Amino acid sequence: MRLLQFVLSATLLLSLTACVSQRTVDGKETPAQQFNAQEAAATRLALGLEYLQTGNYPQARLNLERARDYTPNNPSVITGLAFYYQQVKEYQTAEQYYREAIRLQPNNGDTHNNLGALLCTMGKYQEADQHFQAALALPEYVKVATTYENAARCAAKAGNLQKSDSYFQRAMNHTQGSSAVLESYAAALIEQQRLQEAAEVLKRRAEFPQLSAEYLWLETELARQQNDTARQRSYGELLLLRFPDSRQARAYEARTQ
């Protein structure tokens, strides 16, 4: 599932506390600068998500909790905490925070999408689909293709292949058949052992000039399942040459050892 990345609008402040006083040119003191809880929370949120991205979970949690202390009803902060608990696989706590964020801001499509992805991970497929649909129903929501792709993967996990195919088609319609969506669809088809259909999707993907580690890996997997050793080796060698440090290259090496 793809989680939407947080867009941070806040800039980091040099200090979270105000000076006791400041002096003017003529030596007279002016009142102390007032503490701004909203700015402080934005700073802590930015720091927390930055620490989360680098894998420093203790500092991520510390800053996110401090941001919540400053603004307890800030949906962005609540969503940040949900994302943190999702990353550390405390899914029930993450679900509670996502629901709280939606209560505070019911028309946030990103939060509905992210909760849908989480619920699908937890095996709550029907409710996950409801949140994907809630995001898609919002007129101002623009990340439509990502949500359709998430809905497609979730429908496949639930065993509803017809709905999955329909969602993947809609995702492709909204991106003019982007390479990333085609790769995602091909991966799902290979997993479902629908090899001929996967080959057709990868043929469409091959029309894009830019190679990716995921595309080359999918070609090796399709060839392996079709017992085409020469084709598997050809794409595998290209994968190791172009993307030697990728997760897909390591998976290919492990598969062929």
**Domain residue spans of the chain:** 36-106
pTM: 0.81
What is the rounded distance in angstroms from the CA atom of residue 224 to the CA atom of residue 137?
41
Confidence of residue 176 (pLDDT cuts 50, 70, 90): confident
CATH topology (fold) of 36-106: 1.25.40
Q: Is the pLDDT of residue 19 over 70?
A: no
Q: What is the percent of the chain where pLDDT is above 90?
A: 81
Q: Residue 176, Cβ neighbours under 10 Å: how many?
A: 8
Per-residue pLDDT tens digits for 45-72: 999 999 999 999 999 999 999 999 999 9
How far is the CA of 183 from the CAs of 8, 113, 171, 188, 219, in angstroms? Answer: 29, 20, 12, 9, 10
* Angle subtended by helix axes 91-104 and 109-121, to nearest 10: 160
The whole-chain average pLDDT of the chain stands at: 88
Per-residue pLDDT tens digits for 97-128: 999 999 999 999 999 999 999 999 999 999 99
